[in-house]
Structure 1
Amino acid sequence: MPPDAGRAAEKVARQSYGKLIAFLAARSRDVPAAEDALSEALASALRVWPERGIPGNPEAWLLVAARRNLMQAARHRTVEANAQTTISVAFEEAEERMNAAGNAVFPDERLKLLFACTHPAIDSSVHTALMLQTVLGIEAKTIARSFVVSPEAMSQRLVRAKVKIRDAGIPFAVPPRPALPGRLAAVLSAIYAAYGLGWDGLDGEEERHSLAGEAIWLGRALLAVLPDEPEAIGLLSLMLHCEARRSARRDDSGRYVPLDEQDTTAWNAIMIAEADALLRKASSFDRFGPFQCQAAIQSVHAARRLSGTTDWQALTTLYAALVMMKPTLGAHVSQAAVIGRALSATAGLERLDKLDPRDIASYQPYWAVRAFLLTQAGDDTAAAGAYMTAIGLSDSPAVRDFLGGRLKDARQAISS
């Protein structure tokens, strides 16, 4: 197979998976069937494209092929005549639209699929995982690793959720405004989880950057539909603040650089300006929420680009607000790290000591922060042990190398 054909198929699969699934599933009302049909279409592309050449619009080719696969599968099942007719009409309309537009302009309906994945009829514990797989095409094993469950257990949960969407007739639609408050939080969390995976949860810089970009696109699309939702504005601001620092997270040799050591001239000033403008807009609604608070935290860090210093007291205040609104383990650990810088390492360690040992046993950021604070407190022996635990829990080679350097420093301090 010519390598270009394989790469083209992989690129379309990565960039257009959710868009294609959303378009197919919104009409068939069957996510598993849409996924099967698209998988078959991708397999066909790998067989056909090397022989006939890559089509001018690979995404259009895949949509038409998947549509036909879906229709064939429907014919082989026992389907009520009315349902069969509805599916046929919907996909005939879709193919006519495809054929009429040489550039395959068809609606991007991922937001509809996103709200279907976070419907209250589906167990809330699987909302984010379901969105990650169906809307963004993340493999179940990668999702399972992020949620600290077995791939088998995660696959079973995802299958049950998709069947629920089909059998319960869950609508593929952005819900009416009265129903939004209860639904929006799950959607925002799912988008941010996707960005988190794109930030540092996948292997390969291209894959990470692509997934982060998709999450930001979803954030922008959501904001276009809900321009007056301050938490949706806050989420986009948060993601842009983080994305603005992407190129500074590694040095020229690919080594990890922590936030307070990054070269601020490498930060994206235009992106930071947009993020801060969004944060100001969100504040005008006078409904402060956790995503706005996290964006404000990132804005304080971004201010170092102009002031040359970090306002640790401001961060202490913001983290106090964040743990009141959303007391996640990550928020508590980050709060302890900030207190360690604003007050003293001992004060930060006291905060860490209050956390449940069962929660922090396998939580890598806890051990990295603990090791740093122990070093600052002069307890190099305990710091070395914490660094070893943090290294063992990290999936990132660059982060392991960075922590390994600090472990080496701690051991040298012990022996001196």
Structure 2
Amino acid sequence: MDAPAPIPRGGLIEGAYREHSRKVLATLIRLLGDFDLAEEALHDAFVAAADRWPREGVPGNPSAWLVSAGRFRAIDKLRRRARFRAMEPELAEQIVSDAEEGEEMADAVIKDDQLRLIFTCCHPALPQPAQVALTLRELCGLTTEEIARAFLARPPALAQRIVRAKARIREERIPYEVPELSALPERLDAVLRVIYLVYNEGYSAHSGTELIRADLSAEAVRLGRLMLDLLPQGETMGLLALMLLHDSRRDARTTPDGEVILLADQDRTLWDRALIEEGFGLIDRAFATRQIGPYTLQAAIAAVHTRARTADETDWGEIVGLYDVLMRASPSPVVRLNRAVAVGMHQGPQAGLALVNALLEEGDLSDYHLTYAAQADFYRRAGDKPAARQAYEQALELALQEPERRFLQKRLQELGEGGGGTS
């Protein structure tokens, strides 16, 4: 549930909220054992800070101060609501004991609480849509309205999804902990998958009027950085590198009017070199760990595109080779489609067309608009205008995202005038 009243405005408190609120919330959830009570406590802590900090100064450890303030106010609320005596005696005793810890909470403890919260929000017992919504709500601090708007959902329905997820965590006693080492790879995969789902929705929205939702992809990158800080595994590095390399092209992917610009046609001087260099460094670190998985391989593919000074200099042979490795590590129809596009760029449109047609004949991705867009582009490059038109029309019928629909309509109008590639 969202905060019951706005946090008092002002540069000092707003800045502290941005810096500390998610860390403090994670610890309050651990101490109080309840998401909603912890959110109320977080709100109350910042109200107290707004009252005291301007007069007394910011404490040396703001996060610990806020945890302490929120925790004591939560206990007061429990007593006032006459719920304290009805609670499990052990839980009541634990809350009081924790409250007596004072303000000496170490930063390392708070950091561990964030890691615990990520694994709780992404627990496999929760449906994936609930994992995404809960992660954005609790770890990113987005309101239910903001999450609903990002995923084109109705706010009441989104709110119910979050409520049900919290109830399931409580009723099934889903542990608030980092998994044991033996279970960590599988559970880490679930966390990284949720982060990448959030990023992809921001990078290329599935539907709506805008291709890019920068705020959503920025939240995913922030989560990726947090995961890297908390758990520096090879695939964590690979995922963050992949997101950064894609994000480096954001300003070049659309016109000022929001129209799609394909990768081959982008102004590469607009690519963000700082993000690119950070991504390259993360890829090197990921390969050095020898924990090379699908995200690291996808990042390596993105790096080949990024290193090319022009589209014509792209090393498509290297990209095909990386896709061959990715197919062994994480086979999927989408990977097959992307490999088919790379083969078509490397060996010619007929070679790519044969692979795309095979995918369609097998029934894989037959309802995915990008499959037909790739097929259409190969037909267009091969000079088969009637087949290209039919494929573009099929892609247009399936596409939900308005800039992509306008791009496909433009292709239908301009068949034979060249161009092609990915965005």
| Equivalent position of 1:350 in the other structure | 354
Q: Is 1:79 the counterpart of 2:87 in the alignment? A: yes
Over 3 Å counting, the alpha-carbon distance change for 1:378 and 1:271 in structure 2 is same
Cα contact 1:340–1:348 (8 A) shared by 2: yes
Q: Is 1:268 the counterpart of 2:272 in the alignment? A: yes
Give the CA deviation at 1:341: 1.4
Counterparts of 2:367 and 2:155 in 1: how far apart (Å)? 18
Deviations 1:151-200 (A, max 9, x none): 99987765444323223433333335444222211111122112112213
Structure 2 counterpart of 1:172, from 165, 176, 181: 176
RMSD value over aligned CA atoms?
4.6
Partner SS state of residue 291, structure 1 = helix
Pairing of 1:115-194 with structure 2 (within 5 A): 115-122=119-126, 127-128=131-132, 130-136=134-140, 159-194=163-198
Q: Is 1:114 the counterpart of 2:118 in the alignment? A: yes
Q: Is 1:371 the counterpart of 2:379 in the alignment? A: no
Unaligned runs of 5+ in 2: 1-7, 51-56, 419-423
| Equivalent position of 1:286 in the other structure | 290
Q: Is 1:208 the counterpart of 2:216 in the alignment? A: no
Give the CA deviation at 1:290: 0.6
Deviations 1:88-138 (A, max 9, x none): 6656868x689xxxxxxx946543211112335546786455434543356
Cα contact 2:357–2:375 (8 A) shared by 1: no
Over 3 Å counting, the alpha-carbon distance change for 1:65 and 1:379 in structure 2 is farther
Counterparts of 2:316 and 2:325 in 1: how far apart (Å)? 14
Pairing of 1:188-337 with structure 2 (within 5 A): 188-201=192-205, 208-227=213-232, 229-305=233-309, 309-337=313-341
Deviations 1:305-338 (A, max 9, x none): 2785111111111112212221233222212221
Whichever residue aligns with residue 175 of structure 1, its letter is P
| Equivalent position of 2:385 in the other structure | 380
Deviations 1:73-99 (A, max 9, x none): 7554542244245446656868x689x
Cα contact 1:127–1:190 (8 A) shared by 2: yes
Whichever residue aligns with residue 83 of structure 1, its letter is L
Identical counterparts, % of pairs: 35
| Equivalent position of 2:406 in the other structure | 401
Give the CA deviation at 1:257: 0.8
Partner SS state of residue 29, structure 2 = helix
Over 3 Å counting, the alpha-carbon distance change for 1:172 and 1:355 in structure 2 is same
Counterparts of 1:16 and 1:350 in 2: how far apart (Å)? 54
Partner SS state of residue 174, structure 1 = coil
Structure 2 counterpart of 1:390, from 368, 392, 395: 395
Counterparts of 2:248 and 2:388 in 1: how far apart (Å)? 31
Counterparts of 2:290 and 2:339 in 1: how far apart (Å)? 24
Structure 1 counterpart of 2:345, from 337, 341, 346: 341
Counterparts of 2:71 and 2:25 in 1: how far apart (Å)? 10
| Equivalent position of 1:103 in the other structure | none
Which of the two has greater helix per residue? 1
Give the CA deviation at 1:222: 1.9
Moved more, 216-225 or 120-129: 120-129
| TM-score when normalising by structure 2 | 0.73
Aligned residue pair count: 391
Over 3 Å counting, the alpha-carbon distance change for 1:92 and 1:364 in structure 2 is farther
Over 3 Å counting, the alpha-carbon distance change for 1:387 and 1:204 in structure 2 is closer
Counterparts of 1:64 and 1:205 in 2: how far apart (Å)? 43
Moved more, 256-265 or 378-387: 378-387
Counterparts of 1:358 and 1:146 in 2: how far apart (Å)? 30
Counterparts of 1:373 and 1:339 in 2: how far apart (Å)? 11
Cα contact 1:237–1:295 (8 A) shared by 2: yes
Counterparts of 1:140 and 1:390 in 2: how far apart (Å)? 33
Counterparts of 2:376 and 2:222 in 1: how far apart (Å)? 36
Unaligned runs of 5+ in 1: 50-55, 99-105
Partner SS state of residue 289, structure 2 = coil
Moved more, 190-199 or 304-313: 304-313
Give the CA deviation at 1:9: 12
Over 3 Å counting, the alpha-carbon distance change for 1:285 and 1:144 in structure 2 is same
Give the CA deviation at 1:302: 0.5
Deviations 1:273-315 (A, max 9, x none): 2211221122123332111110010011001127851111111
Counterparts of 2:38 and 2:329 in 1: how far apart (Å)? 38
Cα contact 1:241–1:295 (8 A) shared by 2: yes
Partner SS state of residue 284, structure 1 = helix
Counterparts of 2:76 and 2:364 in 1: how far apart (Å)? 49
Counterparts of 1:274 and 1:34 in 2: how far apart (Å)? 36
| Equivalent position of 2:53 in the other structure | none
Cα contact 1:333–1:366 (8 A) shared by 2: yes
Give the CA deviation at 1:27: 2.6
Counterparts of 1:411 and 1:10 in 2: how far apart (Å)? 54
Deviations 1:4-57 (A, max 9, x none): 97xx9999999988556534423322235556877x98xx99xxx9xxxxxx99
